Structure 1
């Protein structure tokens, strides 16, 4: 007889939500986490960056309040107090996750877990009961009818000469812990992580330069809106189509598209070229798991190639987003509870996962970009409306502020294929498009939806009525 019905290895968004769902369903669940509950997202990712970005927005609004008739003086940023706000936010939410697991009846163990094969997990503990870099003081083995692997991801650190052991070079975790706002910041990578930190520190007063090897930022964005976002980040300098060749202290050396050698000088260099699934060090190599370069292989029910072994979240490499991990955890839990759950739609639908960039301003999207839709063929149609078509957008940002919403749709069936937004509240609007794509609504259907007025979300309605239908 197994010790537990389900063992979850990893307490990030996917792991803790799966454990919580299973616990509330009456299953005996063990959740193993080496560090604080909440994983990268809650502790050194999504949440702390948003806490700081909100503070930066407040500072930005205060500086430019005179445009609205609000006059202030002696505006300054206290980085130490910002860090306290960030820490308070994280601590509160981590405690909330712990309370939720306790309420669900989940047993939480703090230690370094390794997967020994189907139904078997070993947890190493240090002297203080947690895991760390020192030798294990003791280890315990646990058995479970099912095992869910949710080991997350780690930052990618490319082998750039001069980057390793360079005190000027940090990853995203290190960037959150810098002692002060750097006068000059160089960001290597123009993806989501790079842009959010670039926007944050540029708003707080840093001289920021982003070096990106591709010809445009955020490669998965729609090609029409990505330049709009880049230009909206006017306080950030971009070096596109540039390849970093070496880092010498705080000097980032790179070659341009025409082969010229240039450099940018910085006090801090952020390595933000992405993250990769954490598939090493916890037993994946020796357990018989099917692991590709993209992560642990899973089907749309989150099953691996091993019996009663599931994988969710970043470790799968399918979508390295916290909200995708939530859904993967729910899908895995549903299929563990009921093997026929997939017939009720409890499967991952990879094409309807929204994304968001929480820069200042924001960007978000879901579904196919125009280029992706055209690559699939058919009668692809698009419509783009400016942010100025929303009364609230203008009231809060002014008529000249950058912003737009773009619909991609099938010109024959009128089915909506994608939605892409740049501007304030983009991240809060995109969930509605998730429902549109999940239910396969058409432009005609969308025109019948009543949007609250005045809201920025009305841009979606405006786009639907501007479409050729």
Structure 2
């Protein structure tokens, strides 16, 4: 039996990062993966979807070349090549993780791992043991009973990024990040897209102002939007899919080539031996403390299998925190109130901290500022004037409670707010920090100036 200091089960952005940090700290480390290194994020999630969205952006630029004083004739798309490029990008990233495993002398064990008592893991008949076992098995597309996925007419995100043929029409169920990113991609490629959301607004976890702006932008782009609506059942017996959608006005049947179910994810915790070891779960999640220790000594869990935001950067941070605690380092518990969320549709959405509604409900007296990109010189020059930056401060002490952005490139701007909140900066400090001109990022300073009644360019 091979013996390790640390074994990581799962090689997504939680698992492989935990393994690398463990190796850096001198632990003899192994990682177990049943499929491709990098997990869903690198192979079927974050990275390949961004490649698809980049193709959509380039295609959109070509279609609107005249807006920039350019003439392009005969521009068209090759859907198969677009998908092929995306898969190539994912493959390259997975090979990058393979390189990192070799570089850090981490043993890669291929196969399905099952936890056993006594700090052991069985991988298809071969047993391995470790002083510490970290569970990082991630999540998969959630299936609703009335929306069973057949992989052809009713699909999940995995099939959505590798379809052989572009559908003429698509119904997207759910308007979280996965749903709206695919809705944007297929709409930009020329598919007739209808998005169905059960709640009153698209991207319902976002600030209400952001949701309203996003819905306006989506409708302007040609996406059909149905909110306060639910898909009750689907009929896949014919050539198309017939979805029965319930709205406040009653029921209607919508036809499409394919239905994409994007109603969230479910943790991969079945059949991995949790019951055999006695590890406690609740509502489909493994219960852990601040250092990701389960109730059974020597077993830990990170990423999408534990409570908290199911995001790649969260899983990575949890993996590092978990391993550094094992190493006896002085570590700080993760602040889950300061996690940035990003959505990569067009326009992009990025946010951190409280929404205006949440801040009011928490009893804060607020200073709220907003700066539209329509007043930004960089946005005007780039032809990307949709959206705004919104900031929320505590009026009494100047604490930066929340920041919400919608517009071109905002996912690359949100880190300023995350860092500012981490360093407990105040509104006045942001306001007096000189931002470069012309940039999209100066909209943050301008929004803060608006909150404090000092805005110049509005």
Corresponding residue SS for 2:277: coil
Contact 1:301 1:348 in 2 (8 A): no
Deviation (angstroms), 1:448: 2.6
Deviation (angstroms), 1:84: 1.8
* Structure 2 Cα separation of the partners of residues 455 and 422 of structure 1: 15
Correspondence list, 1:21-420, <5 A:
21-117=21-117, 119-124=119-124, 139-160=125-146, 163-165=148-150, 167-233=152-218, 234=220, 235-249=222-236, 250-258=241-249, 260-338=250-328, 340-342=329-331, 345=332, 347-397=333-383, 401-420=385-404
1:171-221: CA deviations, max 9, x gaps? 000111211111101001111111000000000000000011111111210
* Structure 2 Cα separation of the partners of residues 72 and 459 of structure 1: 32
1:208-263: CA deviations, max 9, x gaps? 000111111112100111110111112211111012111012111111024x1112
Contact 1:389 1:462 in 2 (8 A): no
Deviation (angstroms), 1:55: 0.5
- Could you list the structure 1 runs, at least 4 aligned residues long, displaced by more than 4 angstroms after superposition: none
- Root mean square deviation of aligned Cα: 1.5
* Structure 1 Cα separation of the partners of residues 307 and 432 of structure 2: 38
Query: Greater CA deviation, 377-386 or 49-58?
Result: 377-386
1:360-384: CA deviations, max 9, x gaps? 1111100111111111112123111
What is the TM-score with the length of structure 2 in the denominator? 0.95
Corresponding residue SS for 2:14: helix
Deviation (angstroms), 1:25: 1.7
What is the TM-score with the length of structure 1 in the denominator? 0.93
Deviation (angstroms), 1:117: 3.2
* Structure 2 Cα separation of the partners of residues 199 and 445 of structure 1: 37
Corresponding residue SS for 2:17: helix
* Structure 1 Cα separation of the partners of residues 448 and 367 of structure 2: 12
**Per the alignment, do residues 75 and 118 of structure 1 end up closer, same or farther by CA in structure 2, a change over 3 Å counting?**
farther
* Structure 1 Cα separation of the partners of residues 325 and 340 of structure 2: 23
1:56-94: CA deviations, max 9, x gaps? 000001100101101101011101111221121111111
Which ranges of structure 1 fall in alignment gaps of 5 or more residues?
Answer: 125-138
* Structure 2 Cα separation of the partners of residues 357 and 165 of structure 1: 27
* Structure 2 Cα separation of the partners of residues 118 and 89 of structure 1: 40
Corresponding residue SS for 2:275: coil
Deviation (angstroms), 1:21: 0.8
* Structure 2 Cα separation of the partners of residues 10 and 452 of structure 1: 42
Contact 1:383 1:407 in 2 (8 A): yes
Deviation (angstroms), 1:451: 2.2
Corresponding residue SS for 1:76: coil
1:131 match? none
Corresponding residue SS for 2:74: coil
